[in-house]
Structure 1
């Protein structure tokens, strides 16, 4: 397993953890539980961002610029709602 694969696995795992913590935050029944999940979510989001930045710096997570025409199509589609 190479470094890129390890980082991809870390990123996917961290994203999954963020999803779980988000639901824990939303569904928490007390303020104390809510704050605990919320802090864990924020920490996990920071971790996810760090992993993404490291992958992006190595060229392992590339972004593609959306075409302006496609953006306008989506805007037009939802403008009438």
Structure 2
């Protein structure tokens, strides 16, 4: 007798989000390491599609309360901007 495990909707959607994070990271690496401009452009198009999918999954999770977030305080946003700007050459 085998035991079937049934995933909840939340577990499935969480897995989808994790997969999208992996896909975008992998595609980004391919883009930066590609020497063919046509391939690079195609990968950029795919990356944009993946980001759109990622956003849709995140929005679904956020609406269902499975990925709660809060708005950053203005001073925290400014600190990050300042830090990023100090890194640019």
Q: What TM-score bracket applies, with the shorter chain setting the length?
A: 0.7 to 0.9
Task: Return the TM-score normalized by structure 2.
Answer: 0.73
Structure 1, residues 29-51: CA drift from partner, whole Å, max 9, x if none?
Answer: 01111011111111100000000
Find the counterpart in structure 2 of residue 46 from structure 1: 52
Instruction: Tell me, yes or no, if structure 1 residue 29 matches structure 2 residue 35.
Output: yes
Structure (1 or 2) with the greater helix fraction? 1
Q: SS in structure 2 opposite 1:60?
A: coil
Structure 1 runs (4+) greater than 2 angstroms displaced:
64-69
Give the Å deviation of 1:19.
0.3
The gaps in structure 2 that reach 5 residues or longer are 1-6
Aligned length: 76
The gaps in structure 1 that reach 5 residues or longer are none
Give the Å deviation of 1:64.
3.6
RMSD after superposition: 2.0
